[in-house]
Amino acid sequence: MISQVGYLQVVVPPNILDIESTPSSVAVRENQNINMTCKADGFPAPKIIWRREDGLDIVVDKKKNDKGKTRVHDGEILPLQKVSRSEMGAYLCIATNGVPPSVSKRIILDVEFSPMIWVPNQLVGAPVGTDVTIDCHTEAHPK
């Protein structure tokens, strides 16, 4: 009798675990910290990367200036410290393990900040008896 032994390895594409990950929309106050989480399963174990949807850099360490910026961040947790309004926007968590298809989750980060008011032209001259328009600009989130 002839016998042969074989080995079967079942591969499973990545799947993002929504229940264990940051919701698809999250808000944080300006200058506060936030850890966004993205968990995935599959076999082999998926690798998680983060990137901004707009292609801008992710600031992971403000103390290091440009060295603390990256286009892609590796790992389940994306730590953002002292979040600024310029970091507001869509972030993509992408899970890959070599088994197609890769999957992604879009997380919108809203940065809430107090109203700011500024007047671009603080000195306006006009003849007596004429109308004057003074521009006043505001910015806040939420509006």
**Residue 32 is encoded by which pair of tokens?**
């506060």
What pLDDT sits at residue 12? 97
Q: In this predicted model, what pLDDT tens digit does every residue of 67-95 receive, in sequence order?
A: 678 899 999 999 999 999 999 999 999 99
What pLDDT sits at residue 126? 86
| β-bridge mates for residue 74, sequence order | 49
Contact by Cβ (8 Å): 113, 96: no
Separation of alpha carbons 130 and 1, rounded Å: 109
| CATH number at 12-113 | 2.60.40.10
Only one residue has tokens 């992604």, namely: 104
Per DSSP bridges, beta strands 77-80 and 34-37 are antiparallel
What pLDDT sits at residue 66? 66
What pLDDT sits at residue 134? 85
Segment 50-72 mean pLDDT: 85
Only one residue has tokens 């600024």, namely: 84
What pLDDT sits at residue 108? 98
Contact by Cβ (8 Å): 111, 141: yes
Q: Where are the domains of the chain?
A: 12-113
Contact by Cβ (8 Å): 22, 39: no
Q: In this predicted model, what pLDDT tens digit does every residue of 26-35 receive, in sequence order?
A: 999 999 999 9
